[in-house]
């Protein structure tokens, strides 16, 4: 594969590393290594990287802030790390441009500094902007997809903007082109709260608001999150999707007597039954075994088949 490595090293603005441990880079703190860890510093470098990978027919994974994923202990092959694609800048008078590697927490700090409200309910979600959009992350009745006006999609043949329609997002999913990555997005901004919500097929918008009020909103939401979620231990966030709007995964798990159940160093959180936490030395196998057990017990006890919200990165052999 020498030609492959030679081409990668010729890409300006690309950092190439081998055998990088992924556990420290994920919020669950489990998993093996990436045989090849590629970090583009610009979207142009990402375009060139995807072209080379496509030409070689090589599979890859995409890493943002490492939440919502569980990496198997055997590790994976090629990982694209988008964390340094993290710019935030005004796009025009009524939109803001955000790159995929920007974390949600960083963008919320930008909202405080610039006085734009609307995304406070997502406070405490540890993901990157691109990952949050891909999964249509949400909390407290608000989903990030509600605010996305345009997406910048990068493929092996270049990048292009896509206008987001109202049916672009579903519950914890999006319908992006299968051969592309979300590399940036634009969100709508407006002056008044009453102008912010969807009308005439427009997306919701962030609205101008006093920064101190936004900060107070964030504090209230984080206080509530800290009281109900196990933020003191490593986790991947909610493990399962809610089966329906009026049926929560956590209530089914708790009803089956699994809240607090421990398998080696992986535990169903005593604080929130839809979280599995790493008590210190859990392996990926521990977490995955516990997920399997929870699904089996809930099916036996309630007849409901839980579906994972987290994404499992399975061990790969001979990927390049």
Q: Are residues 155 and 176 in the same domain?
A: yes
Q: Residue 319 has what pLDDT?
A: 61
pLDDT digits over 32-57, tens only?
A: 999 999 999 999 999 999 999 999 89
- Which one of the listed residues 172, 188, 256, 316 is annotated catalytic? 172
Domain annotation covers residue 20: yes
Q: What is the mean pLDDT of residues 163-169?
A: 85
For residue 197, name the pLDDT band (cuts at 50, 70, 90): low
Q: Are residues 192 and 239 in the same domain?
A: no
pTM of the model: 0.91
Which ranges constitute the DSSP H helices of the chain?
2-9, 43-56, 104-114, 129-135, 211-228, 249-255, 284-302
pLDDT digits over 198-238, tens only?
A: 555 556 899 999 999 999 999 999 999 888 899 889 999 99
Report whether pLDDT(318) > 90. no
Tokens of 147: 């605010």
Domain annotation covers residue 318: no
Q: What is the mean pLDDT of residues 278-302?
A: 97
Residue where a domain terminates, one of 50, 66, 81: 81
The answer to whether the beta carbons of residues 239 and 309 sit under 8 Å apart is: yes
Share of the chain above pLDDT 70, in %: 95
Determine the longest span between alpha carbons in the chain, in angstroms.
58
Residues 219, 220, 223: CA angle, nearest 5 degrees: 85
Q: Are residues 95 and 193 in the same domain?
A: yes
CATH code: domain of residue 24: 3.30.43.10
Tokens of 110: 């930008």
Domain annotation covers residue 313: no
**Domain ranges, residue 55:** 2-81
- Which one of the listed residues 47, 72, 150, 309 is annotated catalytic? 309
Q: Are residues 116 and 223 in the same domain?
A: yes
CATH code: domain of residue 251: 3.90.78.10
Domain annotation covers residue 311: no
Q: 117 - beta bridge partners?
A: 207
Q: 275 - beta bridge partners?
A: 238
Q: Residue 286 has what pLDDT?
A: 98
Domain annotation covers residue 267: yes
Q: Are residues 73 and 35 in the same domain?
A: yes
Tokens of 290: 């516990």
Q: According to the 3-state scheme, what is the secondary structure of 258-295?
A: CCCCEECCEEECCCCCCEEEECCCCCHHHHHHHHHHHH
β-pair type (33-40, 76-81): parallel
Residue where a domain terminates, one of 227, 244, 263: 227
Domain annotation covers residue 217: yes
pLDDT digits over 172-190, tens only?
A: 888 877 778 999 999 999 9
Neighbours of 53 (CB within 10 A): 20
Q: How many domains does the structure of the chain reveal?
A: 3
The answer to whether the beta carbons of residues 132 and 107 sit under 8 Å apart is: no
Domain annotation covers residue 314: no
Q: Are residues 33 and 69 in the same domain?
A: yes
Position of tokens 């800290």? 226
For residue 151, the number of C-alpha atoms closer than 13 Å in the C-beta half-sphere is: 29
In angstroms, the CA 251 to CA 247 distance is 8
pLDDT digits over 60-74, tens only?
A: 999 999 999 999 999
Q: Are residues 77 and 92 in the same domain?
A: no
Q: Residue 202 has what pLDDT?
A: 59
Q: Is 188 a residue of the active site?
A: no
Share of the chain above pLDDT 90, in %: 77
The closest alpha carbon to 115, from 9, 221, 206, 12, belongs to: 206
Report whether pLDDT(1) > 60. no
Q: Residue 199 has what pLDDT?
A: 55
Q: Are residues 239 and 161 in the same domain?
A: no
The answer to whether the beta carbons of residues 20 and 33 sit under 8 Å apart is: yes
Q: Are residues 222 and 239 in the same domain?
A: no
CA 51 to chain centre: 24
Domain annotation covers residue 317: no
Q: Are residues 164 and 202 in the same domain?
A: yes
Of the ranges 11-25, 167-181, 275-289, which one carries the lowest mean pLDDT score?
A: 167-181
Q: Are residues 207 and 252 in the same domain?
A: no
Neighbours of 69 (CB within 10 A): 24
In angstroms, the CA 303 to CA 159 distance is 45
Q: What is the mean pLDDT of residues 117-141?
A: 90
Q: Is 17 a residue of the active site?
A: no
In angstroms, the CA 164 to CA 176 distance is 10
Residue where a domain terminates, one of 63, 81, 99: 81
- Which one of the listed residues 102, 209, 238, 256 is annotated catalytic? 238
Q: Residue 198 has what pLDDT?
A: 57
Q: Residue 194 has what pLDDT?
A: 66
Q: Are residues 207 and 276 in the same domain?
A: no
In angstroms, the CA 135 to CA 66 distance is 13
């Amino acid at each position: 594969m020498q030609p492959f490595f030679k081409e990668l090293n010729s890409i300006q603005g690309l950092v190439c590393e081998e055998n990088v441990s992924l556990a420290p880079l994920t919020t669950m703190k489990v998993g093996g290594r990436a045989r090849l860890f590629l970090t583009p510093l610009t979207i142009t470098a990402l375009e060139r990287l995807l072209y080379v990978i496509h030409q070689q027919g090589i599979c890859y994974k995409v890493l943002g802030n490492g939440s919502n994923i569980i990496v198997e202990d055997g590790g994976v092959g090629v990982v694209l790390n988008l964390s340094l694609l993290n710019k935030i800048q005004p796009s025009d008078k009524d939109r803001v441009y955000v790159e995929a590697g920007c974390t949600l927490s960083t963008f919320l700090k930008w909202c405080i500094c610039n006085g734009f409200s609307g995304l406070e309910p997502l406070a405490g979600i540890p993901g990157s902007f691109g990952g949050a959009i891909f999964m249509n992350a949400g909390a407290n009745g608000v989903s990030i997809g509600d605010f996305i006006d345009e997406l910048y999609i990068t493929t092996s043949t270049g990048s292009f903007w896509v206008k987001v329609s109202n049916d672009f997002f579903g519950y914890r999913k999006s319908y992006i082109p299968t051969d592309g990555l979300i590399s940036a997005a634009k969100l709508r901004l407006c002056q008044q709260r009453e102008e912010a919500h969807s009308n005439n097929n427009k997306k919701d918008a962030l609205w101008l608001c006093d920064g101190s009020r936004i900060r107070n909103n964030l504090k209230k939401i984080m206080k509530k999150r800290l009281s109900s979620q196990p933020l003191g231990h490593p986790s991947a966030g909610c493990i399962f999707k809610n089966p329906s709007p009026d049926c929560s995964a956590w209530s089914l798990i708790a009803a089956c007597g699994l809240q607090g159940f421990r398998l080696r160093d992986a535990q169903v959180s005593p604080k929130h039954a839809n979280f599995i936490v790493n008590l210190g030395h859990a392996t990926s196998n521990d977490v995955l075994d516990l997920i399997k057990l929870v699904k089996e017990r809930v099916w036996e006890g309630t007849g409901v088949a839980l579906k994972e919200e987290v994404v499992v990165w399975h061990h790969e052999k001979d990927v390049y």
